[in-house]
Structure 1
Amino acid sequence: MDEVKIGEILLPGDDEEQEGQRQRVRKRFWPVLKRAIRQIPFSRDLVAAYFCALDPRTPARVRGILLAALAYFVLPIDGIPDFLAVVGFSDDIAVLTAAFAAIRGHVRQDHYDSADRAMMDGLQDAV
């Protein structure tokens, strides 16, 4: 996955696009994460990013980048289909890693605390 494509994926979008992504992410995040948890080496960070993206205190640009990356993660068909063993989530990992680098410092401790609670509760939606 090249830099241009990742950059295009991570565009924050306008308010309407962000709302659509927010709804897709809220609906599909937990089921996809449950399938991918063994393949995503930074699951805690991913769950904290989910809470950061849904937090109204997070700046709009940061929310947009995270929602774009999380929406890509939950899409059933993307650059490399997720049902392919081992490599299926590699493109998702690349997009998420780029998003985390772009928003470094905006995922706060309370997002990690929410992630820890959600993961301890068996990855149930804590929102």
Structure 2
Amino acid sequence: MIEPIVLKAIIVGALGYFILPLDIIPDLAVGVGYTDDLSAVIFALFQVALYVDDGIEIQAKGKLKKLFGENVDTSDIDSKLKN
């Protein structure tokens, strides 16, 4: 299991790479310029998705309810994640 600090570092690294002016493939290259940026973000999201379990989902729902009130409906997202 990946430690949360490592996941945070992966997210910060991917976002940092996304906003850096220096890329492996320059963003000015039409059609392929953002593929390296996109792959870094997708990699980070995949790593985070592997870490999410039922306890994390419950914490996230609690945070959503705290921020947006008790009427937050996550059933649509839940059904998509379970498939």
Match of 1:80, as an amino acid? I
Alignment coverage as a number of residue pairs: 53
Match of 1:71, as an amino acid? G
Q: 2:19 and 2:31 mapped to 1: Cα distance?
A: 17
SS in 2 for 1:60: helix
State which of 72, 75, 99 in structure 1 corresponds to 2:17: 72
Residue by residue, what CA displacement relative to the aligned partner does 1:26-49 show, whole Å, maximum 9, x if unpaired? xxxxxxxxxxxxxxxxxxxxxxxx
Identity percentage over the alignment?
Answer: 32
Give the superposition deviation at 1:85: 2.2
Residue 60 of structure 1 pairs with residue 14 of structure 2: no
Match of 2:10, as an amino acid? I
RMSD: 2.4
Q: 1:92 and 1:60 mapped to 2: Cα distance?
A: 22
Residue by residue, what CA displacement relative to the aligned partner does 1:52-77 show, whole Å, maximum 9, x if unpaired? xxxxxxx3221111000111111111
Give the superposition deviation at 1:83: 2.1
The higher radius of gyration belongs to 2
SS in 2 for 1:103: helix
Match of 2:14, as an amino acid? A
Superposition map of 1:15-94 within 5 A: 59-94=4-39
Gaps of 5+ in 2: 68-83
Match of 1:86, as an amino acid? G
RCO higher in structure (CA 8 A, sep ≥6)? 1
Q: 2:27 and 2:18 mapped to 1: Cα distance?
A: 9
Superposition map of 1:108-123 within 5 A: 108=60, 110=64
Residue by residue, what CA displacement relative to the aligned partner does 1:54-107 show, whole Å, maximum 9, x if unpaired? xxxxx3221111000111111111110112222110011111111111111369
